[in-house]
Each structure stands twice: as structure tokens, then as C-alpha cells.
Structure 1
Amino acid sequence: MIASFFELGGKLMVCAPCIEARKILKDDLIPEARIISGGTLVAESISADSVLTY
């Protein structure tokens, strides 16, 4: 399912402050994950057609 998500143009953006607080390392993420600042996450979420958060 994740392959289809990326094939259809989906982007996986990960909030840097969120992963730092949880002690998650970049190496723990899949290669397609893009680590972004909290402010960028907010801006991207506002401009996106849809957002899935977990």
C-alpha cells in the first residue's frame, strides 16, 4: 500500500521535533521519509488537499 501511495505522488513528511522527542532516528525511518520542521509541517498541512496524521 505504501508503494502505491508514493506512486500516486504521496509525500511522507515527518515532524523533526516530534521524532526527536520520541528518540526516533533518521535511520529508523524509511528512505522516502522527509524530516521537516514543525513550521513547515503546519504550512504543508494547510496547503495540502488532504493530510493523514498518526
Structure 2
Amino acid sequence: MNEKVVVMSTSGPEDPEKATLAYVMANAALAMDAEVIVCLQASGVYTVTKGVYEHIKAPGHDPIKKHVENFLSNGGKIFLCIPCCEERGITKEMIVDGCELTKAGKAIKEILEANSVLNY
């Protein structure tokens, strides 16, 4: 397919449906052989924070933990906003393995290279 999709998510436990839909779409794009990057900002960083992401579940969907694990195991990339994590006291050790802490410049680079950007 040779497409690149960036999924921006600022939703976390306060809106489990919106947070989950970001991963549903990201996993669907991976299944279509697109390169997919999820960029998490604001409370979206909780969707890959150990001790929190296990408890995020939207009605009618699998727990977000399952979506995250599927996404990472199928080659998806997850970037977390460093200032957003710092503000919430989230350390690298608290983040699911396979995720990367980044700043805005890396997210912007990926967005500029993407064919499509989805916002949640």
C-alpha cells in the first residue's frame, strides 16, 4: 500500500470510547499494510501507562490494553509527548514497552510525511 497514517490522540481514561477508537483505526490501517504512527498528547499518554491502560474499556470494545498490544505486535509505532508525561508524573518505566518518548518536532515530521492524519 505504501501509505503512511498518523493518528493523533489526546483522549484517555476520561473518554474511553474516543481513546479506543484511535487504536481501532490505527489497527485497521496496519491491517491494510499502511505504516502507522500513533502520537499521544495530553491525557492520551495514559493509554500506554502501566497501571492505567489495563482499566480503560469502552462499551462494545475490547479493553484498550488489547488494542495497544495488537498495534505494537503488528509493527505500529507509538510516540508520547515528553512534556505531557512529565506534567503527569509519568516516567519511562511506567510506559508500555515499545513506545517512544518524543517532543513535538518528531510528531510534526511524521505528520508532514503522512498521507493522512486522524485526530482523536
Under TM normalisation by the shorter chain, which class is it?
0.5 to 0.7
Counterparts in 2 of 1:52 and 1:38: CA distance versus 1, 3 Å:
same
Counterparts in 2 of 1:24 and 1:51: CA distance versus 1, 3 Å:
farther
**Structure 2: distance between partners of 1:35 and 1:49:** 23
**Structure 2: distance between partners of 1:33 and 1:22:** 17
Contact 1:15 1:36 in 2 (8 A): yes
Shifted more, 23-32 versus 44-53: the winner is 44-53
Q: CA shift at 1:49, angstroms?
A: 4.6
Identical amino acids, percent of aligned pairs: 33
Partner of 2:113: 47
Counterparts in 2 of 1:53 and 1:46: CA distance versus 1, 3 Å:
same
Ranges in structure 2 where 5+ consecutive residues have no aligned partner: 1-66
Partner of 2:81: 15
Superimposed CA distance per residue, residues 13-37 of structure 1 (whole angstroms, 9 cap, x where no aligned partner)? 1111111111111111011110011
Q: Which structure's residues are more often strand, by fraction? A: 2
Runs of 4+ that moved beyond 3 A: 48-54
Ranges in structure 1 where 5+ consecutive residues have no aligned partner: none
Greater C-alpha radius of gyration: 2
Task: Give the TM-score of the pair, scaled to structure 1.
Answer: 0.68
